[in-house]
Structure 1
Amino acid sequence: MLIDDRCRAHEKSEADLGRVSPPPPIGGCEVPIVEQYLPLIQAGMRVLEVGCGAWGLIRDRCAAVGAHYEGIDTVQEYFGVKSVATRFENLAELSFADDFFDLVIGNQTMEHWNEYGCRTDWGLYQCFRVCKPGGQVLLNVPIHYHGTRLFLLGDIDKIRDLFTPFSSAVTMESWGKDSGPIAPYYAHPNYSRLKNKSAYNLDIRSVKNRPLPTGYTNKGASSGWKATYLGNPKSYVMHRLLCKLGASSTNYPVPPDQLDRLKALIREQTQASRV
């Protein structure tokens, strides 16, 4: 949605969500991706929104067409607005029955599951567990922006591999990867592994057409700083710590006058993650 080479979708995103959005194309593409899900919601369907937040677009579509809506989240309020969740629970302990929903939708949430004590593969298992055979799991995520390793580094093949045990019908569409005429957005210009990699959104759609596999557990899940440390490249963890110290992650090795401060910060964050 461009007018005079300006991303009007980004402006619409901020208006609809009622908060400041990341620069386009990350912020701008979020709303049109979800708007394309809406025609899939039909009367009589059961729809689950994972990490629903306070944005009521999916809920309102369900109400308009006569579909049953459920939303889960762990937070009761976003930017001063009450969550639309019908249940406050972690995806790791999803309480719905097997084969219950026609659609399972997650908007900019999958990249964060690991940070909240839910392994990414276990969270995906939960989504497919509650999805009916023939139903769809619709998830969109940012790439080269934030989240854990797969999403931060943009390992698309490994992201796809997470879905294939559950579905042989997986489609992925990039939004904003070739951003022109909008300038590309480099979220981490000082991190060497992402220096020339612009951020974009990835829309992942899959049909549950395989038997639910066995062997999935949430064993080894962590949260907070510990999840960030374990779920990302060590070079990125170092980059973040150096940024907190006001240093540049491109200055390797770490200058001696900053090394003691860096070690102290690592100890502080590690201790906090154990609380």
Structure 2
Amino acid sequence: MHSKKESLLKRWHSFRINPSLCKKKWHKEYWHTIDNCRIISCSTCPSFDSMKKACSINFGTPLRKCVVSSIEAHFFDCKNKNVIEIGFGRFKLAKKLITRSGGTWTGVEPRRPKNETPAIGKGGYGHATDIPFPDETFDKAFAIQSLEHWGQKAGGVRKPSSYPQCIAEINRVLKPGGTVYLDAPVHFHGNEMLIMGDVDKVRSLFPENQWKNVQIEKWREDYTPLERYTPTDNEFQDWDIEITSYSEDQVTEARKNGVVWLMVVTAIKI
């Protein structure tokens, strides 16, 4: 549950977000590469305040701070781009960066009334397997803290529930050369492949004849010198429902030693 102060700080951050300042903050290479993944370590992240030994994002959980940082890094330049957000909710940071940098934001959200039809420049009903726009409409598609829920079982099977169908629908509405951005927590909740941080399985969702430059980023897996952030008993209860394809030893190891980190996936449509 967010406090009133947290909510105000989050809104203030979105209100004052500046694409030029984000570009200045994030334009240099802020990762290193291990096993074909980009590793964003807290100690070298541009959001890390080395004087205070703290993250400079002053609201949210450690995971939310990474989400904010990743949005800043990936959305500061959307000039002349048509961008579709899948599951737009109430968090407006990406939308602000898109529009303030000269792009056009459009959104689909499954919790909107079904008779609320989206149009270019506004939001309406839709979801990852039902994006009601013609083929090759958008330059960029993205979903923030939504991917893990598309195939979630806890609380009842969600719609959509087929990852291949979701990725195919996103591919359909993107122009050739268009990009996708997806982020999701690891060792937290949602579909088992994201709980377990299964990078290979996530990569396999992007067929090589349809996508190129599939990048996986790992934010906060290397969290030192900041605090260790771990799943709670509430998350572990869902794990018993979600996880069916991994061995008991793998799950035990994740429960014992897993830390919560942010997986970011980007790819380019061929």
TM bucket, shorter chain: 0.5 to 0.7
Higher normalized helix content (fraction of residues) = 1
1:104 Cα offset (Å): 0.5
In structure 2, distance between residues paired with 1:177 and 1:85: 35
User: Which residue of structure 1 aligns with residue 24 of structure 2?
Assistant: none
Shift of 1:4: 2.4
Q: How many Å apart are 1:204 and its aligned residue?
A: 1.1
Give the TM-score of the pair, scaled to structure 2: 0.65
Aligned pairs for 1:155-166 within 5 A: 155-165=198-208, 166=210
Tell me how many residue pairs correspond in the alignment: 191
Deviations 1:166-198 (A, max 9, x none): 312111111100100112212157773422111
- Tell me how large the CA RMSD over aligned residues is: 2.2
Q: 2:258 and 2:211 mapped to 1: Cα distance?
A: 29
- Aligned-partner residue type, residue 106 of structure 2: E
1:178–1:66 Cα change, 3 Å:
closer
| Contact kept? 2:189, 2:195, Cα under 8 Å | yes
Please give the residue correspondences for 1:67-106 in structure 2 after superposition, counting only pairs within 5 Å. Answer: 67-76=103-112, 86-106=123-143
Out of 182, 186, 191, which is 2:230 matched to?
A: 186
Residues 1:35 and 1:162: Cα distance change in structure 2 (over 3 Å): same
**Alpha-carbon displacement from aligned partner over 1:46-101 (angstroms, at most 9, x marks no partner):** 10011111122232233324322111112359xxxxxx961122222221111110
1:109 shift after superposition: 0.9
Q: In the alignment, does 2:73 pair up with 1:29? A: no
1:169-180 equivalent positions in 2, closer than 5 A: 169-180=213-224
Letter paired with 1:167: W
CA contact (8 A) 1:164 1:170 kept: no
Deviation track 1:222-266 (CA, whole Å, cap 9, x = no partner) reads xxxxxxxxxxxxxxxxxxxxxxxxxxxxxxxxxxxxxxxxxxxxx
1:38 aligns with 2:82: no
Rate the CA distance shift 1:89–1:137 in 2: closer, same or farther, 3 A. same
What is the alpha-carbon distance in structure 2 between the residues aligned to residue 76 and residue 176 of structure 1?
Answer: 33
Higher relative contact order (CA 8 A, sep 6+): 2
Aligned to 2:170: 127
Q: What residue in structure 1 maps to residue 159 of structure 2?
A: 117
Matched residue, 1:202: 263
Contact persistence 2:86–2:127 (CA under 8 A): no
- What does 1:120-269 align with in structure 2 at a 5 Å threshold? 120-165=163-208, 166-188=210-232, 192-194=252-254, 195-209=256-270
Residues 140 and 203, structure 1, Cα contact 8 Å, conserved in 2? yes
TM-score where L is the length of structure 1: 0.64
For 1:118-175, what per-residue CA distance to the aligned partner results, in whole angstroms no more than 9, with x for missing partners?
1122111111111110110111111111111100011111111112343121111111
- Contact kept, 8 Å, 1:53 with 1:85, in 2: the verdict is no
Structure 2 letter corresponding to 1:122: Q
